Amino acid sequence: MNLIIDVGNTLVKLAIFENDEIIIKKTIVNESILDALKAIKNDFKAVNHAILSTVGKLDTETIKVIKTLFDLLILSSEIKLPFISLYETPKTLGVDRIALVCASVKQFKNTNVLIIDAGTCITYDFINTNNEYLGGAISPGLGVRYKSLNTLTANLPLLDVEMPEGIIGKSTSASIHSGVVYGVLKEIDGVIEEYKQKYSDLTVILTGGDSNFLSKQLKSSIFATPNFLLVGLNYILQFNSNE
């Protein structure tokens, strides 16, 4: 069994895989990470190998304790990966993006794949049929767009994400929903169309916290897979354990 530890800015996602199947998955606050991991160590004796992916802050002492609990692999651009990276600044490539590309290699081998991760940021990552990762794009996510309108202007309110009733907003709130949500939808559909112009046999993956909300509204044919990043992390751990 493999343990996946995905540390964000405020939350940690934990998952236990048996081969390629998720046995258990939970989300906790960062402050509870050691208690949760000690409980997993006690309850799941077969879990020995673990991978740590962190885009948030995890102090050195906490990492040292985790290493005493499990045989730990820390994800970075320097470990062995199952694809060829043509990214010009590999050390600045986010570990979350690395994991997503690895998931595409696992599930869609030798395929042109565009992975769209709709979370705090919307990231676009492309890997081709030659198993070459070319790069992609980063833009603000839904929540960031709502917050920026509130914090960078004097009078616009902070709203929760909501599907607008139509393209024409008949109030300030409705106008914000229209601008933000349709802006994101049109962006994603437009990016997909640009890739399809060059790669007609394109497979598109949509994942991330806002994937369920967005997938119902997009015109393009996509695969919506909320656990895609966890699958990628598990595959990286498998790939390095077999070396």
- Cite the active site residues: 96
Q: Is there a binding annotation on residue 13?
A: yes
| 212: phi then psi, degrees, rounded to nearest 5 | -65, -40
Q: How far apart are CA 142 and CA 70, in angstroms?
A: 36
Compute the half-sphere exposure of residue 82: CA atoms within 13 Å on the CB side of its CA: 24
Residue 143 is labelled as binding a ligand: no
**Is 210 a known ligand-binding residue?**
no
**Tokens found for residue 9:** 């800015």
68 annotated among ligand-binding-site residues: no
20 is in an annotated binding site: no
**Burial profile 9-39: b = 16 or more Cβ within 10 angstroms, e = fewer:** eeebbbbbbeeeeeeeeeeeebeebeeebee
87 marked among binding-site residues:
yes
On whether 9 is known to bind a ligand per the annotation, the reply is yes
Q: Are 207 and 117 in contact (CB under 8 A)?
A: yes
114 annotated as belonging to a binding site for a ligand: no
Known binding-site residue numbers: 6-13, 87, 94-97, 117, 120, 172
Known binding-site residue numbers for ATP: 6-13, 120
Known binding-site residue numbers for substrate: 87, 94-97, 172
Known binding-site residue numbers for K(+): 117
